[in-house]
Structure 1
Amino acid sequence: MPYSVSPQPDPCSDNPLIELRGISMQFGRNRVLNNIDFTLYPGEAVAIIGPSGTGKSTILRIIAGLLAPSAGEIYVRGERRLGLIEDGPDRLGVGMVFQQAALFDSLTVSENVGFLLYQHSRLSNRAIRERVQEALAMVGLPDVGDLYPAELSGGMRKRVSFARAVMSNPDDLSERPSLLLYDEPTAGLDPIASTVIEDLIRDIHQGRGCSSYLIVTHQESTIRRTADRVVFMHQGQIQWTGPVDEIDHTDNPFIRQFFSAQVQGPIHVAG
């Protein structure tokens, strides 16, 4: 029986890519998210910012389908998602870059980047190696395929994780990432390494048509260099959203305190 691929949705559609409606998340007595509404459109580059512990990374995991909310509804390209990503087919290909890169220490760089294809595609090993080499060249690391993660710097490991995140299975076009999620991609990096990562995020985004991305970050340079729109969260709720160039002009007290690093204001830090 010949292999066929179901028609894929237009990646450049004006319809929302993701909609969160009334999303809440509670762990025991701790409510991390409180009735969140959020919409992401194809081609958007959005930074989710705010103090630690406000639910930013939790939103990423809910959108990725790795975590089910306690309440609310999730819509992917207009269709409601039920359960987790592993529970059934999903119309959203997601690539995720974790804060610590999350590479397999016992595998080479090439084996890490090609892991999806080795596990789920029908490509030959040679074809996979060619795709891996292209991905590594895209992130500026064409000669590290035979090394192990422990032999790389922190910034290089981040870039390897980017190469892995954009890999797709040609046997299943639905797995091609139309959304990339970055959780603190520049955390712990020096300013020069951070700039390299920030430029790479933009380059990947611009080179992938109408793909979108969400980035959780605390670093001001990353916010300003990678985002078009900013969502500010505090105490499990969205307190402000707007274009990145408005963060210098808005009177919103949360934004003013966050970017001025003042102790006084609506954001209370435990001593």
Structure 2
Amino acid sequence: MIEVKNLKKQFGKNVVLDNINLEIKKGEVVSLIGPSGSGKSTILRSIIDLETITSGDILIEGNNLKDKKIKKEMLLKTGMVFQTFNLFPHMSVRNNIVKTLELVKKLDKKEANKIAEETLEVVGLIDKIDNFPSELSGGQKQRVAIARALSLRPDILLFDEPTSALDPELVKEVLDIIRKLKNDKITMLIVSHEMNFVKEISDKVVVLEKGEILEKGDSKKIFENPDSQRVKEFLNTIY
């Protein structure tokens, strides 16, 4: 579904990512973990073209994003959920989704409304469809953001610290939705500091530091028997 080859990103002389190689298969959940500033979010932003890469290749379903003819089509296959929700405050929950579908997918209002209702059912917020973001809790806002991403029917969902802006008691409701998406075989790439959740939900875990991959492998091995001493030290401090 996604292949990242020899990815490098630098700002001036500052190398943010160096020689990043990743593969994410259909239906897999892959998590990126590591200290702050290790480049996790930059990888996500590069995949959805919010960052211009310095060198390397990003392929979605085998198609290179450098090919401008298919770039827009490939990017539409990828949805992203940000840590700060990014909802339009002046729009109802319904219109946050409907307007996105009208703009991005060019759907008519009737079809967009139908999809909005379906995706809000998935995240358990159909009763909030005509509320405004200011009337929602942080957890509810994030669930609306997930519904909006799902409404675009992406093949791949990216999550950038989806619970970091939430109070602890609201974290579970968002994580439960992501668990549900895993059961539905949605392909996901997740950046998170919720280590118990990462261990539970991930098929593969990639550990980064200073823009480089320290180690990658299946979740159980990374958390219980990592090869790298530095990975052991990192996990001991937060897990």
TM-score normalised by L of structure 1: 0.81
Partner of residue 47, structure 2: 63
Higher relative contact order (CA 8 A, sep 6+): 2
For residue 131 of structure 1, give the secondary structure of its aligned residue in structure 2: helix
Partner of residue 211, structure 2: 236
2: CA distance, partners of 1:122 / 1:104 = 19
Q: Does 1:39 find its partner at 2:35?
A: no
Q: What is the identity, as a one-letter code, of the residue corresponding to 2:180?
A: D
Residues 224-263 of structure 1 mapped to structure 2, 5 A cutoff? 224-246=199-221, 247-261=223-237
Decide which of 98, 115, 118 is 2:99's aligned counterpart: 115
Q: What is the identity, as a one-letter code, of the residue corresponding to 1:250?
A: P
Structure 1 residues 76 and 108: alpha-carbon distance in aligned structure 2, compared to 1, 3 A threshold = same
What is the CA distance between 1:228 and its match in structure 2? 1.8
Q: What is the identity, as a one-letter code, of the residue corresponding to 2:225?
A: H
Kindly provide the CA deviation profile for residues 205-249 of structure 1, in whole angstroms up to 9, marking residues without a partner as x: 322x4x310000112133123322110000110001111112122
Which runs of no fewer than 5 residues in structure 2 stay unpaired?
none
Partner of residue 12, structure 2: 28
What is the CA distance between 1:57 and its match in structure 2? 0.5
Partner of residue 104, structure 1: 88
Which runs of no fewer than 5 residues in structure 1 stay unpaired?
1-16, 169-175, 263-271
Bigger drift between 125-134 and 34-43 goes to 125-134
Q: Return the index of the structure with the highest Cα Rg.
A: 1
State the identity %.
36
What is the CA distance between 1:27 and its match in structure 2? 0.8
Task: Verify the 8 A CA contact 2:204 2:219 in the aligned structure 1.
Answer: yes
1: CA distance, partners of 2:69 / 2:183 = 26
Kindly provide the CA deviation profile for residues 237-266 of structure 1, in whole angstroms up to 9, marking residues without a partner as x: 00011111121222422221122118xxxx
For residue 74 of structure 2, give the secondary structure of its aligned residue in structure 1: coil
What is the CA distance between 1:145 and its match in structure 2? 1.2
TM-score normalised by L of structure 2: 0.91
2: CA distance, partners of 1:184 / 1:146 = 27
